Amino acid sequence: MPAIEDTKISSWADEVDETSEDLPPPSEVIDNGLKIVTVYRRNEDGKKEKLICTYKTEKRVVSKTVAFRKTWKKYGASANDKPGPNPATTIAAEETFMQFITSKEDHDKPDDDLLEKLRGMADKTVKCRTCNGDHWTLKCPFKDTGYMPTKVNVPPALDDKKNLMPMDDKNKPSKYIPPYMRDGAKGRGDAMGHRGQRDDSCAIRLSNLSESTQEVDLEELVRPFGDYSKLFLAKDKNTGACKGFAYIHFKHKLSAANAIAFLDGHGYDHLILAAEWSKPQVQQH
Amino acid sequence: MRPLMLHGHERPITQIKYNREGDLLFSSAKDHVPNVWYSLNGERLGSLHGHQGAVWCLDVNWESTHLMTGAADNSLKIWDISTGQVIGSITTVSTVRTCVFSFSADLAAFSTDTQRKQTCHINVIDCRITDSFGSEPILSLPVPDSKVTALQWGPIDEKIVTGHENGRLCQWEVRMGKLLTEVEGHQGNINDMQMSRDGLMFVTASSDHTAKLFDFESLLHLKTYTTERPVNSAAISPILDHVVLGGGQDAAIVTTTSSRVGKFDSRFFHLIFEEEFARVKGHFGPINSLAFHPDGKSYATGGEDGYVRLQSFDQSYFEFNFDY
């Protein structure tokens, strides 16, 4: 019957929702260039939520053809969309930043093969407990044969000395060479490569930041002092809340000094910030 | 920057393109429906229904009135962008892999695939006489050795440059239908070719992990941009000496590795110094196609994850000075 379609009966689930809720109706205010839409809804816990969406209306001067194309009627799957972006197809993604690569060593480093390297290294350090071969004990060909290797080829007296040297008695390199002794390493303490090369002289540490600080806020805070190459905001892994401190690598020492002079003791978000030069990392051995 | 995610496709994006003014963005995907978007706010103007197969390529004419799409349903369609209706349709013998309007858009070139024992052909059609009954190509060049995977027109509708599966680049004279120059451009499949703003150079993206810059007239190799992953698309900034590369691991092996090593960032290289200076993260899969906005202030990427992302640059991008 066509009459039924006209009176649009909603499904029973919607019906219950509507009757049980005493939420104020949504409102839409247009105020000099800003469209403010307020929607009330209930969240998963049944608590009332007020959602305020503020849209900025922008007037742009464009060429006639572009303006004309803006008046075209939507078609296809968008034929029934209202003017303006449809939230189903157009989603504002989370804020991202362009990561500038300043140090030249940084991108020469084949960092993506780290896993493969680790895996390769693990193979070389594997030692069978049954026959001392370079395979897992489980996969030993002498497994369950009762074979006991004789230890004649490694006299115990020489054992200690051999362990220190990366050569064994057949004059060929042993399986494991510590990272600092490998080709290309610059010596002890350079195992992590890039960590040592990073220039920390223009880096400052900001502390006593409030929990709600985001990268964007931080960027706004430090931008006036000059160009920076890296921003690091310490955040909790699970909640994403700020842990209270951040490191900023400036490009120039002067901007870093200015930033410290201004930001140390600066009131920000009800807290008083502390700014200092970033201290070099303590080597952990 | 706060990118806009355009979710109009259910399958991997195959190609995205801006029109000349940059107010419209077109996207095609392996689902059968190309979409048209307003690039400013990400609003969808409409979707184009008619194809029955994955849409591999698209191009828009100079006046932004017509859109051409080529698909795996063995057809090439020309659409009226204002209404979303099909104006012209050409049935081919195999999948249409690339399609490009010439500058005047009187002519268009497209290439077909080698599937089902067909040889690859480069076809040139006259768009003015193409209607829903199709039209005979005015030129059809067989390419027996390696199929065409990328195609571009030269500045005054005279020449075509094609990129092939085996990495070769060929330059053709359209009026005589003759091969002019052929060079060994890459070691792998050429996935994408995009012209510079002035049409004098073009950048190729290849599966051999590099993108290269060539001179259009002589096919002289100018620059190489090297990465560690296959490059699926590359574009030249219209205002700065920058090239952006998009790619990543092959879609087939993504699931067997951790996402950390996927490298799905768009990577910015300096055009002249061939050095990478910035990256932008975003996609969860390889980037299949990317395009610079004609004003150079934003760019769009389309990924294997089915999303198109519109990124407008922050001030820091324009303030960035390359140290040399």
Residue B16: predicted pLDDT:
95
pLDDT higher for A130 or B80? B80
Report for A25-39, A56-70, B280-294: range of highest mean pLDDT? B280-294
**Would you say how long chain B is, in residues?**
324
| Residue A242 pLDDT greater than 50, yes or no | yes
Beta strand B24-29 pairing with B13-18: antiparallel
Residue A124: predicted pLDDT:
57
| Residue A200 pLDDT greater than 80, yes or no | no
Best residue in B316, B318, B321 to probe A by mutation, most A CBs within 10 Å?
B316
Residue B254: predicted pLDDT:
60
Query: Which one of B46, B64, B277 has the shortest CB-CB distance to A76?
Result: B46
Helix (H) or strand (E) holding B270: strand B266-270
Among positive and negative, which fits the CA dihedral B268, B269, B275, B277? negative
In chain B, residues with a C-beta closer than 8 Å to the C-beta of A95 are 1-2
pLDDT, mean of residues A24-35 = 76
Q: Would B323 be classed as within a structural domain? A: no
CB A241 within 8 A of CB A233: no
Q: Would B34 be classed as within a structural domain? A: yes
> What's the CA dihedral at B302, B306, B312, B316 to 10 degrees?
-80
- How far is it, in rounded angstroms, from Cα B222 to Cα B216? 10
| Residue A191 pLDDT greater than 60, yes or no | no
Q: Would B324 be classed as within a structural domain? A: no
| Residue A160 pLDDT greater than 90, yes or no | no
In chain B, residues with a C-beta closer than 8 Å to the C-beta of A60 are 40
Among positive and negative, which fits the CA dihedral B321, B225, B22, B105? positive
Beta strand B168-173 pairing with B178-184: antiparallel
Burial of B219 (0-12, 13-18, 19+ CB in 10 A): middle
Q: Would B306 be classed as within a structural domain? A: yes
Q: Please give the single-letter amino acid code of residue B35.
A: N
In chain A, residues with a C-beta closer than 8 Å to the C-beta of B18 are none
Domain with residue B134: its CATH number is: 2.130.10.10
Residue B308: predicted pLDDT:
93
- Which residues, listed in sequence order, are joined to residue B182 by a DSSP beta bridge? B170
DSSP assigned state of B312 = E
CA distance A95 to chain B (A): 4
- The contacts of residue A273 (CB under 8 Å, 6+ apart) are A206, A207, A208, A209, A263, A264, A265, A266, A267
The interface pTM score, or ipTM, of the predicted complex is: 0.77
Q: Is A48 left (phi over 0), alpha (psi -120 to 50) or beta?
A: beta
Q: Would B246 be classed as within a structural domain? A: yes
Residue B150: predicted pLDDT:
93
In chain A, residues with a C-beta closer than 8 Å to the C-beta of B281 are 96, 99
| Interface contacts A/B by beta carbons within 8 Å | 126
Report for A21-35, A225-239, B82-96: range of highest mean pLDDT? B82-96
Residue of B nearest to A88 (CA): B7
Q: B22: domain range? A: 4-317
Residue of B nearest to A77 (CA): B47
| Residue A269 pLDDT greater than 60, yes or no | yes
- The contacts of residue B226 (CB under 8 Å, 6+ apart) are B209, B210, B274
Q: Would B147 be classed as within a structural domain? A: yes
In chain A, residues with a C-beta closer than 8 Å to the C-beta of B82 are 69, 72
SS3 at position B44: strand
Q: Would B322 be classed as within a structural domain? A: no
Total domains in chain B come to 1
Best residue in B10, B33, B38, B66 to probe A by mutation, most A CBs within 10 Å?
B38
CA distance A216 to chain B (A): 10
Taking each helix axis from N to C end, the angle separating A215-222 and A253-263, rounded to the nearest 10 degrees, works out to 100
Q: Do B277 and A100 touch (CB under 8 A)?
A: yes
Q: Would B77 be classed as within a structural domain? A: yes
In chain A, residues with a C-beta closer than 8 Å to the C-beta of B38 are 70
Query: Which one of A75, A96, A115 has the shortest CB-CB distance to B83?
Result: A75
Q: Do A112 and B4 touch (CB under 8 A)?
A: no
Q: Do B316 and A95 touch (CB under 8 A)?
A: no
- Which residues, listed in sequence order, are joined to residue A245 by a DSSP beta bridge? A207
- How far is it, in rounded angstroms, from Cα A77 to Cα B36? 11
Question: What is the pTM (predicted TM-score) of this model?
Answer: 0.65
Residue of A nearest to B22 (CA): A66
Mean pLDDT by 10 residues, chain B (324 residues): 89 93 93 92 91 93 92 92 90 91 90 86 87 79 89 89 92 90 91 92 93 92 90 93 86 60 81 89 89 93 92 89 76
| Chain A CB within 8 Å of residue B8 CB | yes
Query: Which one of B35, B49, B277 has the shortest CB-CB distance to A101?
Result: B277
